[in-house]
Chains A and B, each alone.
Chain A
Amino acid sequence: DAKTTQPPSMDCAEGRAANLPCNHSTISGNEYVYWYRQIHSQGPQYIIHGLKNNETNEMASLIITEDRKSSTLILPHATLRDTAVYYCIVRGFSGNTGKLIFGQGTTLQVKP
């Protein structure tokens, strides 16, 4: 499974867009990019995932570069409740593995 690199921490003003970057330069063609977040000590929560195309749902948007070596999670209007640790994960499905390997993540602090 490809490794990911994320900045350890970021700040964002409430109401502004939060852009969280992730590098996954060794990603292979059949691997997806997933984003999860963990608020305080709760279990991680799924946000979004994608393969090649940009994706959007009610929580966030995922922008994947054309070469797929990096991606950005966008929270369009961050609120204080978005303060959490955000994990970018690369996940493949070949050989029935489907492992989810977490890195250190990015701690996002949304400030008033």
Chain B
Amino acid sequence: NAGVTQTPKFRVLKTGQSMTLLCAQDMNHEYMYWYRQDPGMGLRLIHYSVGEGTTAKGEVPDGYNVSRLKKQNFLLGLESAAPSQTSVYFCASSSLTEENTEAFFGQGTRLTVV
């Protein structure tokens, strides 16, 4: 049971380049989330999804797009990377029922934009 897997683990981009971060979960969870964490800060919610085919904005959505075409995958896209998007990105998933709502997190993607 792999849990939540993020790909890639590290990436360096040049300003203006695009990339997609992949989050995959094998727990059949409905909810999925993308966060960013800057040095010395807490996690900030970028976008989230409450089910296949649905997405919603979080606290800091600007500059990012997401898609949830399959229940197990949640993609985070940067169309034109900026140095301000240098951060560690975490993906998480959780189930829908209130009784069993522990969120599981991936190990993070460290992105540097130069």
Chain A residues proximal to chain B, CB less than 8 Å:
32, 36, 41-46, 49, 85, 87, 91, 93, 96-105
Contacts and interface: CB of A to CB of B under 8 A. Distances in A.
Given A32-B101, A96-B50, A41 B33 contact: no
Interface in B3-47: 4, 31, 33, 35, 41-45
B7 to A, nearest CB: 14
A104 B38 CA distance: 11
A91 B31 CA distance: 13
Interface string B77-114: 00000000000101010101010011111111000000
B59 A42 contact: no
Nearest to A44: B105
A102 B103 CA distance: 13
A98 B45 contact: no
B103 A46 contact: yes
Give the size range of B's interface with the partner.
Answer: 20 to 34
Contact of A100 (B50, B51, B88, B92): B92
B42 A45 contact: no
A87 B92 contact: no
Contacts of B43: 44, 87, 102
Contact of B94 (A41, A45, A96, A98): A98
A83 to B, nearest CB: 16
28 contacts: A32-B98, A41-B88, A41-B108, A43-B4, A43-B90, A43-B106, A44-B43, A44-B92, A46-B103, A49-B102, A85-B42, A87-B43, A93-B101, A96-B50, A96-B51, A99-B33, A99-B48, A100-B45, A100-B92, A100-B94, A101-B45, A102-B35, A102-B42, A102-B44, A102-B45, A103-B42, A104-B41, A104-B42
B58 interface: yes
Which 7 residue pairs of A and B lie closest in terms of their CB atoms, listed nearest first? A43-B105, A102-B43, A46-B102, A102-B42, A96-B50, A104-B42, A44-B105
Contacts of B48: 99
Contact of A99 (B58, B106, B107): B58
